[in-house]
Amino acid sequence: MSVLLIAEHNNKEVKPFTYNAITAASQIDQDLHVLIIGYNADEVAKSISQVPSVKKVIQVDNEIYENYIAENYTSAILKQADNYSHIVCSANTFGKNLMPRVAALLDTSQVSDIIKVISSDTFLRPIYAGNAFATVKSNDPKKCVTIRPTSFDPAPSTGGSAEIVKADAADKTETTQFVKREEIKSDRPELGTARVVVSGGRGMQSGENFKLIQQVADKLNAAIGASRAAVDAGYITNDHQVGQTGKVVVPDLYIAVGISGAIQHLAGMKESKVIVAINKDGEAPIFSVADYGLEADLFEALPQFLSELNKLNTIQK
């Protein structure tokens, strides 16, 4: 039994969730190999080879993998699949797009978005936006599993020296072309891995008002999140959305501002260690999951919050 993990990277750096997925994968089986499909991605292969729990790195390097196209990745993965009992990757937009295509061609019923490894064939996964947890056992001979990264700690990234072997590229698809990527650059911590997240909802009333959130986020070195309502209204871009169909975050501190707390939003943040809700509607469902609720007008509360933070001698970063 061996596990093949598909690394997510941008040809230069390993994406942080790959380390969380490595932790989960090594709980499935110790014989963990990582497949790196990319172009001029030697640095990525080197980084992964230093992860102590990784036994082998397989690198497929070809210009057809300069941009991530699920069709091209799939054929490269299938070339390696015979040797493995499990194929795994993160359950973010990278893995969600990729793994079902692999699973279908292996005639495997995929187990999506696991939050716990119970044994090599049995896993815990949330269903109904996290309102129920299902324990499921896969009876397929080969298993395809995606991992909710925030449910596993990142694996240590140094100290190992796994061998790196090169493998051949597979066929290139002629029917899908990469056109462009609009990546929103930010100096803030990444939403998925930030220690503190400050999120705004419909109550913010405009994109302009999100600067109140930004000021608090700057002070706390926090990432900025948003409810679907705020993204739909155009206050902020989609990469900030937290929830069932957005990102799942598990920060030490989650501050929900002007967010009523629809089931779909709670699905993305209710595992946070400490939750603060600031909302003028005392009946808002967000208060039912908040450790500290403040019933107040956010336009008064946020500036006050900032000035109170400024009074503190030290703030954790």
Binding to another protein (CB under 8 A): which residues in 221-250? 228, 231-232, 237-239, 244-245, 247
Among the listed residues 50, 173, 193, 215, the single contact to another protein using CB under 8 A: 173
| Tokens at 50, concatenated | 């230093």
Contact 231, 259 (CB under 8 A): no
Inter-CA distances, 163 with 40, 68, 122, 184, 301, Å: 18, 24, 30, 35, 55
Tokens 């070339």 -> residue: 79
| Using rule CB under 8 A, residue 180 touches another protein | yes
Smallest gap from residue 180 Cβ to another protein (A): 5
| Using rule CB under 8 A, residue 80 touches another protein | no
Smallest gap from residue 3 Cβ to another protein (A): 18
Nearest CA among 72, 34, 287 for reference residue 171: 72
Contact 24, 147 (CB under 8 A): yes
Q: Kind of pairing, strands 116-117 and 122-127?
A: antiparallel
Distance of CA 194 to the CA centre of its chain: 11
| Using rule CB under 8 A, residue 220 touches another protein | yes
Smallest gap from residue 299 Cβ to another protein (A): 13
| Tokens at 279, concatenated | 């909302």
Contact 204, 210 (CB under 8 A): yes
Binding to another protein (CB under 8 A): which residues in 131-160? 131-140
Decide whether 165 or 315 has the Cβ nearer to another protein.
315
Distance of CA 190 to the CA centre of its chain: 10
Contact 55, 33 (CB under 8 A): yes
| Tokens at 165, concatenated | 């072997």
Among the listed residues 153, 252, 281, 297, the single contact to another protein using CB under 8 A: 252
Name residue 133's amino acid: F
Contact 267, 273 (CB under 8 A): no
CA distance 211 to 60: 44
Smallest gap from residue 178 Cβ to another protein (A): 6
Name residue 46's amino acid: K
Among the listed residues 6, 44, 111, 217, the single contact to another protein using CB under 8 A: 111
| Using rule CB under 8 A, residue 71 touches another protein | yes
Decide whether 158 or 174 has the Cβ nearer to another protein.
174
Smallest gap from residue 285 Cβ to another protein (A): 10
Binding to another protein (CB under 8 A): which residues in 43-62? none
Binding to another protein (CB under 8 A): which residues in 187-216? 192, 196
Binding to another protein (CB under 8 A): which residues in 253-312? 253, 263-264, 270, 273-276, 282, 287-296, 301, 304-305, 308-309, 312
Smallest gap from residue 53 Cβ to another protein (A): 24
| Using rule CB under 8 A, residue 93 touches another protein | yes
CA distance 33 to 4: 5
Cα–Cα–Cα angle for 251, 253, 256, rounded to 5 degrees: 105
Decide whether 117 or 162 has the Cβ nearer to another protein.
117
Q: Which stretch binds another protein (CB under 8 A): 38-46, 48-56, 164-172, 175-183?
A: 175-183
| Using rule CB under 8 A, residue 12 touches another protein | no
Smallest gap from residue 272 Cβ to another protein (A): 10
Smallest gap from residue 55 Cβ to another protein (A): 28
